[in-house]
């Protein structure tokens, strides 16, 4: 694997260790993060530093350093006026740059990355991150930019968890209200569209979660299409529920205005980037079932778990891989649109990582292969039965696990024999 880079999903697994630990304060959390990044072989980083905003001196002071780099004097500071790159952090969050500070160059730092973490503090009419994490390597690759954006977002969430040990009773009340809102957000489980049998189910791990699915009826340009969306927010609990609600409203609005899928994803990405300062990242898969004779299915995948397309006549599996990065990763992103044909008897399984990444008592993941075998074995069942059998199997598999996550499934199955008398979607199922 190329250094300076981890896949998006591996980065999340890397950061889960950080967010699952208890830290006494923000700085101890960031020290642990910097150590882990420098020590992680796949990053290829040789030095890391924590710079903390000093409002009185209008500068960033060195709070911590780690790695195989000559030590910088304690208390060394970087003036914001002398380092214009620091003014770019609030907008770009992560910057790759060549070092201009003479002392740091003497210490062997020539090119570096700088990532803003923590709350934004207003100072002299501008906003600055409370912390800036600096990393250097023999070569800083552009791929590290995306990885650090994810790290920054998740680390900021973790910092808020450390510093925000607030009133549990109030949080509980808010969660109960959010849970009711989220239940109303989800559609009916089962619908029919043309010769498709469709069933969706969402089981949050707690009162509220970041998983979400929806069915969207599209009537434009004389066509009769059904949109299906499944998404997973990076945050947990109430922030995740808020993100799900936001994404739901935005994508419903977009489909009603007959937006092309690629444009819809780009606009949704920009909205998430602009709206959510901390919990920005959302994985999302969207597909459209079309009323054409060959049953073409159009789709776009923003960093979501690759849906599994099973063709019983060939006994073959195909994964609908990402056509773009996660939503909210950076301000300007493009997304591709692909297509498949749904043959009679085909099964398409949309799911969130709470299915395949569920673990047994020994920490072994459920995995895609086990899911494939369950689909193969039960493909003749209805979409509802397939979904319930998968949920039941995952729950049995994770019975002794200490960790659980939201679990969401949408099963799309095309009838073996076309049923012309079932071409209408239940009006109560579609908004």
47-71 tens-digit pLDDT: 999 999 999 999 999 999 999 999 9
**In-domain check, residue 426:** no
Return the closest-CA partner of residue 359 out of 403, 322, 304, 409. 403
Q: DSSP readout, 266-329?
A: HHHHHHHHHH-SS---EEEEEEEEE-STT-EEEEEEES----EEEETTTTEEEE---SBPPBTS
* Of 245, 247, 253, 226, residue with least CA distance to 430: 226
* Average pLDDT over all residues of the chain: 82
Task: Look at residue 29 and tell me if it is in a domain.
Answer: yes
Task: Compute the residue count for the chain.
Answer: 431
| Residue 334 within a domain | yes
Sheet holding 211-220, edge to edge: 211-220, 223-233, 282-290, 296-302, 338-341
Let me know if residue 169 belongs to a domain. Answer: no
C-alpha span between 369 and 377 (Å, rounded): 12
75-134 tens-digit pLDDT: 899 999 999 899 999 888 899 999 999 999 999 999 999 999 988 999 988 999 999 999
Name the 3-class secondary structure at 72: coil
Domain stop point among 117, 138, 163: 163
Counting residues of the chain whose pLDDT is more than 90, the rounded percentage is 43
Q: 303 and 377 in one domain? A: yes
Same domain assignment for residues 317 and 227? yes
| Tens digits of residue pLDDT in 265-312 | 988 888 888 877 666 688 999 999 988 878 899 999 999 999 999 999
Indicate if 156 and 181 belong to the same structural domain. no
Give the three-state DSSP class for 192: strand
Residue numbers of the domain that contains 182? 177-414
CA dist 370 → 64, 348, 377 (Å): 45, 16, 11
**Which residue has better confidence, 21 or 136?**
136
User: The whole model's pTM is what?
Assistant: 0.59
What's the number of domains the chain is made of?
2
DSSP state of 425: P
Q: Compute the 3-state secondary structure of the chain and give helix, strand, coil in percent, each to the nearest 5.
A: 35, 30, 35
Output the domain CATH number for residue 92.
3.30.450.40
Model confidence pLDDT, tens digit, residues 386-399 = 999 999 999 999 88
**Residue 422 falls inside a structural domain:** no
Residues 210 and 357 in one domain: yes
Residue 69: other Cβ atoms inside 10 A: 17
Note whether 379 and 305 are same-domain residues. yes
Please tell me whether residues 86 and 41 are part of one structural domain. yes
Residues 73 and 214 in one domain: no
Answer whether residue 172 is part of any domain: no
């Amino acid at each position: 694997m190329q250094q300076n880079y981890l896949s998006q999903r591996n980065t999340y697994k890397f950061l889960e260790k950080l967010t699952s630990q208890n830290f006494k304060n923000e700085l101890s959390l960031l020290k642990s993060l910097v150590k882990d990044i420098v020590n992680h072989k796949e990053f290829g980083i040789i030095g890391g530093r924590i710079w903390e905003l000093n409002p009185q001196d209008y500068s960033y002071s060195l709070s911590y350093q780690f790695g195989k780099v000559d030590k910088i004097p304690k208390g060394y500071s970087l003036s914001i006026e002398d380092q214009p790159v620091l003014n770019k952090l609030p907008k770009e969050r992560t910057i790759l740059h060549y070092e201009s500070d003479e002392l740091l160059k003497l210490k062997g730092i020539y090119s570096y990355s700088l990532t803003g973490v923590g709350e934004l503090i207003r100072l002299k009419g501008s906003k600055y991150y409370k912390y800036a994490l600096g990393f250097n390597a023999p070569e800083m690759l552009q791929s590290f930019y995306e990885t650090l954006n994810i790290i920054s977002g998740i680390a900021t969430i973790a910092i808020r968890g450390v510093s925000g040990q607030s009133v549990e009773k109030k949080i509980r009340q808010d969660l109960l209200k959010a849970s009711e809102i989220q239940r109303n957000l989800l559609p009916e489980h089962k619908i029919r569209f043309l010769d498709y049998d469709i069933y969706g189910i969402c089981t949050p791990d707690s009162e509220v979660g970041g998983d979400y699915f929806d069915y969207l009826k599209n009537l434009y340009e004389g066509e009769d299409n059904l949109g299906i969306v499944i998404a997973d927010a990076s945050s947990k609990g109430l922030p995740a529920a808020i993100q799900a609600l936001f994404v739901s409203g935005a994508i419903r609005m977009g489909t009603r205005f007959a937006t092309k899928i690629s444009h819809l994803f780009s606009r949704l990405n920009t909205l998430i980037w602009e709206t959510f300062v901390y919990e920005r990242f959302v994985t999302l898969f969207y597909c459209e079932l079309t009323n054409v004779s060959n049953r073409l299915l159009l789709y776009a995948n923003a960093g979501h778990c690759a849906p599994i397309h099973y063709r019983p006549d060939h006994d073959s599996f195909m994964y609908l891989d990402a056509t773009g990065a996660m939503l909210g990763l950076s301000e300007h992103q493009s997304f591709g649109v692909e297509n498949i044909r749904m043959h009679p008897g085909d099964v398409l399984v949309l799911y969130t990582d709470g299915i395949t990444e569920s673990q047994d008592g020994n920490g072994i993941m459920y995995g895609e292969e086990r899911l494939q075998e369950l689909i193969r074995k039960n493909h003749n069942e209805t979409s509802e039965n397939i979904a319930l059998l998968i949920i039941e199997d995952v729950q049995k598999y994770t019975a002794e696990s200490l960790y659980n996550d939201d679990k969401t499934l949408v099963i799309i199955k095309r009838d073996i024999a076309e049923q012309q008398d079932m071409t209408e979607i239940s009006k109560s199922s579609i908004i």
